[in-house]
Structure 1
Amino acid sequence: MIINFTSGAEEYFPSKKIILTDSVIKENKLEKIKDVINYLYNQYPKCREKLFNSDLTLCPGMLCCLDDCDWELFGCEESLLNTNSQLLFLSTIHGG
Structure 2
Amino acid sequence: MSDGAKGAAGPSIPITVEFTGGLELLFGNERKHKVSLPACMEDGNPTNIAYLLPYLVDNLMQDQRKEMFIMEDNVRPGILVLINDADWELEGEETYELQPGDNIVFVSTLHGG
After TM superposition, the score normalised by the length of structure 2 is 0.71
Q: 1:1-96 residue pairs with structure 2 within 5 A?
A: 1-14=15-28, 15-21=30-36, 25-26=37-38, 29=41, 31-43=47-59, 44=61, 46=63, 48-55=66-73, 57-94=74-111
Query: Is the CA contact 2:27–2:62 (under 8 Å) kept in the aligned structure 1?
Result: no
Change (3 A) 1:69 1:89: same
Change (3 A) 1:93 1:2: same
RMSD: 2.2
**Larger RCO: 1 or 2 (CA < 8 Å, sep 6+):** 1
For residue 82 of structure 1, report the CA deviation from its aligned partner: 1.2
3-state DSSP class of the match of 1:20? Answer: strand
For residue 41 of structure 1, report the CA deviation from its aligned partner: 1.8
Residue type of the alignment partner of 1:91: S
3-state DSSP class of the match of 1:88? Answer: strand
Change (3 A) 1:28 1:37: farther
After TM superposition, the score normalised by the length of structure 1 is 0.83
Distance 2:69 2:57 in 1: 9
Structure with bigger gyration radius? 2
Distance 2:104 2:39 in 1: 19
Distance 1:83 1:89 in 2: 18
Runs (4+) off by over 6 Å:
none
